Each structure stands twice: as C-alpha cells, then as structure tokens.
Amino acid sequence: YVVLAVNYRSGVGYGLDFREADDYGADGASEVRDVIGSALYLRGRADVDPDRIGLWGGSYGGYLTAQGLVHAPELFAAGVDVHGVHDWNVGIGNFRPDYEPENHPDLAQRAFESSPLSLVDRWEDPVLLIHGDDDRNVRFAETVTLARELTLRGVPHDLLVFPDEVHGFLLHRNWLAAFGAAEAHFDRWLRDRRPAMD
C-alpha cells in the first residue's frame, strides 16, 4: 500500500487560524476538500492504482472518511470509519455545550448538511464501521444509524463493535482487532479487487 497522512484544515500544528478554519466541521465541512484533494493527488501518481484508493480514520478522521465516501464516491473504493461523527446534531453538545438546535434551526440545518448522513443516498463504496458501545465522545447510536441507512440502500458494510469500550479504546487487544479488521477490509476491497474492465 501507498499511504498518505493528511493534516486537513482544522487539524493541528499550524496555529489557531488553521485549527479553526472557515466553515469547518458542523459549519460547512470545508475540510472534506482536503480529503478530496489528497485523492486527486494520489490518482496522479504512477505508483497508485486510481481505482483502488481507500481512506480511513478515527473520530474526526472517521467523520472525514464518511465525508469522503459521500462527497466523492468516484475517487474512493473503500473506507474504514472508526467511531466517526455521522450527524453533528446528535453529539455536537460534546464539542459546543451552548449549542441549542431547537433555538437555532438554521444552525441545526447547516450542521446536518455538514454531516455524512445528509448525503447517505450518494454512498456507494464498502465501509467497515468500528465503534465501542460505551463511547462518550461520539455516541454509538450514530454508527448504528449509519449502518441501518447503509443496509437500507444495499451498501456493503461491516460493523465491528467493542462491548463496554470507550472512544479511545482502552484495551490493547481492541486496537489490535480494529487494525486487523481494517487491514482485512482493505485487502478485500482494494488489494484483492479485480481491475475494472474497459
């Protein structure tokens, strides 16, 4: 595999303006453009099969994995979403305690439109969803809802649930299981996939 690690806008290491980029997260999901740009960069490399690009991430990276799969299904062949946000309105209170969607329907609408679930009808590519059912940062219900929506649409997906596990998996064996499942998922949908016929 060729691996590209992306420090997308609203990431860390470049100061507050970069960290709080315009229209990021629940305010517009601008950072998905960096994910798409990364795929376009990879497609231009001679050592990358443009039909076998996957993406994966945990937490915010899980959110961006789901965003990449709904915003650019033509660029990605598979994804692994580890405890990602799928609907900002479900758990945004964890990040913004003063958020009251019932008092600001315009903000709630923008938050939903900035969520992968708002475009789930565009989802085509197989995804592995991994989540601990005692996650207090990103509610497990978000992954359950996404899995249900993918099932209704016939999108290939697998769900790996760790009972009594929190957001940043506490048990080493669960990390090993998650990484092993991710590797198997990518082997199946990227490495072992037959090339497209022209």
**In terms of Cα–Cα distance, which of 87, 2, 88, 9 is closest to 50?**
2
CA 115-121-127 angle, to 5 degrees, is 75
Instruction: Name the strand (E) or helix (H) holding 152.
Output: helix 140-152
Query: If residue 180 lies in a helix (H) or strand (E), which one and from where to where?
Result: helix 172-186
Give the Cα separation of 128 and 156 in Å (integer): 9
Q: Which are the catalytic amino acids?
A: 59, 135, 167
DSSP string, 65-90: HHHHHHH-TTT-SEEEEES--S-HHH
Structure tokens belonging to residue 22? 């315009």
**Dihedral (CA of 101, 105, 109, 110) sign:** negative
Instruction: Please report, for residues 18, 48, 107, 110, 161, the alpha-carbon distance to residue 14 in angstroms, rounded to integers and kept in the order given.
Output: 6, 29, 27, 26, 34
